[in-house]
Structure 1
Amino acid sequence: MATRLVHEMVYDAPAEAVAAMLSDPKFREEVCTAIKATTFTVTVEGGVAAKQVRIEMDQPTDRVPSFARKFVGETASVVQTENWSSPTEADIVVAIPGKPGEMRGTARLVEKDGVTTETVDMEVKVKIPLVAGKIEELLAKLLKSALKAEHRTGQEYLAR
């Protein structure tokens, strides 16, 4: 089984501006700070038209329930990779190295009347008998929280 998360982020900006924001390493670093990553490295290769984004970060697990913390430890290392084949479409993989689970999905930007909606559609899979469903739901909830922080950061970034 797997848990699916679909999250929309609406920006009052054209798709070109949102794609440029997502190509800016400084924006990605601001998001890492907003989600309280303790350490992070951001790499963006390519440009607005097509790019590869890699974010490696460590996050505290103090918000993780104790039943799950024994699987992830006091901090969780997360590696997020995005392969943008165009300015508006990406494949995303979020992995927790050394742990039995990952998140895979897509991001799409759709502009209408100068307003852009970014839709992130992810499938969360954990391979731990008995507790997989609970941990998948927890990871989906944490991912949704991170996407909300990214959205707030993006709105501030685009308003500058």
Structure 2
Amino acid sequence: MASRIEHRAEFTAPAATVHARLVDRAFLEARLRAIGGKDATLVEHTTTGDATHYRLRQGIDSAHLPSAVRSLVKGDLVVERTETWRPEGTGFTGTTAATVSGIPGDIKGRYTLTDTATGSELRTTAEVKVRIPLIGGKIESVIADRVRDLLTTEARFAESS
């Protein structure tokens, strides 16, 4: 069974401005330096036509992991995360996929960024799947909570930039 993630962030700027910020190489590098975790780096960044694709690598120090995860994985975790964004209708959509080193599973999700009366709104829906009998659901829940926290922190960073 998978753990579902739903997140909503509001911005005072219109969707086009927020989108331009979210996919900008310099912004992504600054965000990683500020909140990206251990050895965070922008591995890849390309724009082809109206689509932007990038891959991030972020580390999570083992000292910050719950005991259930530490018992499964020795050492720090490395998260590989890809995102692809493109215009759709009057807004923007994005897809994301992530893997976590040493954990058999993945995270897959979708973003929608649309204008609102006061700026714009970013909605995220995703699923975390961990394929480990008996304890997979607990690990999924921990990862889902961490992803929600990260999405909130990233949205705050984007709004203040």
TM-score by length of 2: 0.89
Deviation at 1:105, TM superposition (A): 0.9
Report the counterpart of residue 123 of structure 2 in structure 1: 119
Q: Secondary structure at the match of 2:41?
A: strand
CA contact (8 A) 1:61 1:74 kept: yes
Read off the aligned partner of 1:25 and give its amino acid letter: R
Report the CA distance between 1:39 and its aligned residue.
Answer: 0.8
Letter paired with 1:60: D
Q: How does 1:6-155 map to 2 (within 5 A)?
A: 6-42=6-42, 43-46=44-47, 49-86=50-87, 88-155=92-159
Instruction: Give the CA deviation at 1:31.
Output: 2.6
Distance 1:108 1:91, change over 3 A: same
User: Cα distance 1:14–1:47, how it changes in 2: closer, same or farther (>3 A)?
Assistant: farther
Deviation at 1:95, TM superposition (A): 0.8
Q: Return 5+ residue gaps in structure 1 as ranges.
A: none
Q: For residue 102 of structure 1, what is the amino acid of its counterpart?
A: D
Alpha carbons 1:20, 1:48 under 8 Å: kept: no
Q: Which moved more, 1:22-31 or 1:6-15?
A: 22-31
Deviation at 1:98, TM superposition (A): 4.0
CA contact (8 A) 2:77 2:102 kept: no
Letter matched to residue 21 of structure 1: R
- How high is the sequence identity, in percent, across the aligned residues? 29
Q: After superposing the two structures, state which structure 1 stretch, 80-89 or 27-36, moved more.
A: 27-36
Q: Distance in 2 between matches of 1:37 and 1:21?
A: 20
Instruction: Tell me if the contact between 1:81 and 1:93 (Cα under 8 Å) persists in the aligned partners.
Output: yes
* Structure 1 residue 145: Cα displacement: 1.1
Structure 2 distance, partners of 1:70, 1:34, is: 29
Would you say the 8 A contact 2:99–2:107 is kept in 1? yes
Please give the alpha-carbon distance, in whole angstroms, between the structure 2 residues aligned to 1:69 and 1:5. 22
Structure 2 stretches lacking a partner, 5+ long:
none
Match of 1:16, SS state, is helix
**RMSD after superposition:** 1.8
Tell me the distance in 1 between the aligned counterparts of 2:63 and 2:145: 14
Taking structure 1 as the reference length, the TM-score comes to 0.89
